[in-house]
Amino acid sequence: MSGCGILYTNVHVPRAYRSATPGDVEASQNDPIVTGKSCTHSLLFLFAWGNGGYAAATKNALKNYPDGILYDVQSDSQLKSVLGLYTRLYTVVTGKVAKRK
Amino acid sequence: MNLRTHKWIILKLIAILFLTFLNAPELFAEKASYEARAGMISSGGFVLFYNSRGPLSYNTLSPGELPKESMDLGEVQCKSCQHGISIPFISSLIGQKSSSVSGALGDGSFKKALSNLLSQRPELRGIYDVKIDFQKVNILGIYRKLCTEVTARGFK
């Protein structure tokens, strides 16, 4: 919905992400759960912009753990719209952070 | 033709243009997700020329599948793009309906993206923890670009 602007569009949208499983990393029970968001915006259906991709969302999730890796990842979409005139489409990535093996 | 007929034709033209623009988002509509999804740039109207490659599927490595002696090389990024052009027109030959002529060109495949990466980082043996995004650019519905962006960690 917010991926298209009739006059101008420059958006990054998610396509695929094969995330790690607990067996892939040094998982422990105390691994923190983090969430990261990225979003695209759309105004009046005319303009669309923003980076709502997986890369931006995972980077945001790992901002406090630059050396960590996400595992057991759930990714969701969230849409916020005001009268359909301004729209934000989020990619929300939630997962646990572990050390690399 | 009287003034009323003129007004009617102008209104029809405006409506056709409006519907053409309304149709523009469909150019980027994603189909239902399957395991293999072709990411080809779309083209509308009369396709004059189309020679493009796009991503289909890529079974990437997870961290646990790396070879034992591999060494992490940090984050790597690469991309490959397809380009499209679409020129709208209104033709009396098709009953004053709007349409467009379009064309697409480029290589936005995984193969191209990864060969771009290997040319920048020849020491890479492979990538893992791969995130794949699309970058979509659309200017006035006339020029379109669809890029496959790969963000991952590299290893050797």
* pLDDT at site B45: 84
Nearest Cα neighbor of B134 from B153, B151, B117, B154 is B151
Q: Is the pLDDT at B25 greater than 60, yes or no? A: no
d(CA B39, CA B80): 12
* pLDDT at site B88: 87
Q: Which of the four pLDDT bands, split at 50, 70 and 90, describes residue B27?
A: very low
Can you give the pTM of this predicted structure? 0.76
Residue range B98-140, pLDDT digits in tens: 788 999 999 999 999 999 999 999 999 899 999 999 999 999 9
> B99 near B91, Cβ under 8 Å?
yes
Q: Cβ of A53 and B62 within 8 Å?
A: no
Domain coordinates in residue numbering, chain B:
3-155
Which residues, in sequence order, are CB contacts of B72 under 8 Å at separation 6+?
Answer: A100, B153, B154, B155
Which residues, in sequence order, are CB contacts of B19 under 8 Å at separation 6+?
Answer: B98
* pLDDT at site B44: 80
From residue B52, give the alpha-carbon distance in Å to each of A7, B28, B38, B56, B156: 24, 16, 12, 13, 31
Range in A75-84, B13-22, B49-58, B69-78 the model is least confident about:
B13-22
- Provide φ and ψ at B2, rounded to 5°: -90, 175
Residues of B near A (Cβ–Cβ under 8 Å) read 21-22, 24-25, 28, 37, 39, 55, 58-60, 62-65, 72, 77, 129-141, 148-149, 151
In the block, tokens 């259906």 appear at A45
